Amino acid sequence: MAVHRVAFLVFDGMKMLDVSGPAEVFAEANTLGARYSLRYASPSGEPVRTSIGTRLPVDSAAADLDVDTLVVSGGDPLVTEPIPSELTAAVRHLRARAHRLVSICTGSFVLAAAGLLSGHRATTHWRHAQLLARAYPDVHVEPDSLFVEDRGIFTSAGVTAGIDLALSLVERDHGADLARDVARSLVMFMQRPGGQSQFSAPLKMSVPRTPALRSVTDLIAAQPALEHSTDSLAVLVGVSPRHLTRLFSAELGTTPARFVERVRLEHAKALLDAGHSVAASARAAGFGSPETLRRIFVARLGVSPGHYRARFTATHSDPRRPRTPAGDRSRTDRTPSASLRCPGTN
C-alpha cells in the first residue's frame, strides 16, 4: 500500500483543533492499517502560534513539501484581517502538487482568496457563510452543509466538522469498514445527523424600511402562535395580500408564509433549549401539533425536535437511563453514505 502524504498548512492564529482533530482521524486510521504520513508546514517554515497560545513547530516551508492531500486550517484572523499574500501563494503552489485540496472552517477564505473556489460549491462556519458569499460572489456557498466536495476541493464547516470530513476522506481512501472502526475508536458518528442550522445562533432579522411591513414582522416575532395568514396580516395593516407579498420579497427576500415558519422554528428551538417538551413547544410556537413541528425540523435542520432537544438541553447523562457511546451507534446498522454532502445546515 502506497503512503498517502497529508500536509497541513498552518499560520499564526490558526485554530488548533482544525489541525489536531483531522490529524487524529488520519493517525487513528494508521493504527488500523492505513498509511498516511502527516506533515505540517507554514509559508515561511517558521513555527506558528495557535489560537490557544501554544507554538506549533512545523516540518518545513510550504514550498518544500510533496503532498497528496493538502489541508488548510482555519482561524479567526482570516475573517477579521487581510489574508497574507504568502499564505495564498503557498496554497496555489501546493495545489499544483496535491491531488486533493481540503479546508477546515474558515480555511475556505484562504482558498477563495487564492482563486481556487471560483465557480465551486463550498461551505464554511455558519457564522461566516454570508461573509464568504458577499466577499467572493463567484463561490456557490452552501451555508447549511457540514462539508462539501466539488471537483476535488473539499470544504468543511466549523472545527468539529473538519473531523467529520477527515473521516469521510478515510472512507473514500480505505472503505467503510475501516472508517467505521475509526469512528468507533474515536467515539464519533460516521455521518453526523443534520446540518449547521441546528447549531446556528437565533435568527437576526433585518428591520424593514416600510412601516406596514415592520408592524407585521414585529407582530409575528412577538406572537408567533397567532394565525398569521397572508390575508389576515394584510388586513391588519390595510394593504392587499399581493402588496404585502411584494413587500416581503423586496425587503426580506422571502414570502410571508416562509417568514412565519422561520420565526416559529426559531421560537420552537428556544423553547426546546429551555427544556420544554416537543408538544408544548409545538403549541407555543404556533405549529399546532408535534407532527408538524417534527416535519419542519427534519426538513430545515435535518434532525427531529426530540433529537435536537436531547442534544442541546444538557451536557450530562441521565443516570437513570443507560446510554451507548455515539461512536458505537454511528451507522453500525446502516450502509455508510458515499456522498460528502450532508443532508439539508458546528
Q: Please give the positions annotated as active site.
A: 105
End-to-end, the C-alpha distance of the chain in Å comes to 34
Scanning the structure block, which residue is given the C-alpha cell 451507548?
A: 324
Radius of gyration of the chain (CA): 23
How many helical (H) and strand (E) elements, i.e. helices and strands, does the chain have?
15, 11
Report residue 74 as a C-alpha cell: 482555519
DSSP for 273-292, written as a single string: HTT--HHHHHHHHT--SHHH
One-letter identity of residue 112: A
Q: Which long-range contacts (CB under 8 A, 24 or more apart) does 293-302 make?
A: 293/268, 296/261, 296/264, 296/265, 297/265, 297/268, 300/197, 300/265, 300/344, 301/194, 301/195, 301/197, 301/198, 301/344, 301/345, 302/193, 302/194, 302/195, 302/197, 302/198, 302/342, 302/343, 302/344, 302/345
Of 33, 90, 34, the C-alpha closest to 67 is 90
Burial of residue 222 (CB within 10 Å: 0-12, 13-18, 19+) is exposed
What is the crossing angle of helices 241-252 and 230-237, to 10°? Answer: 90
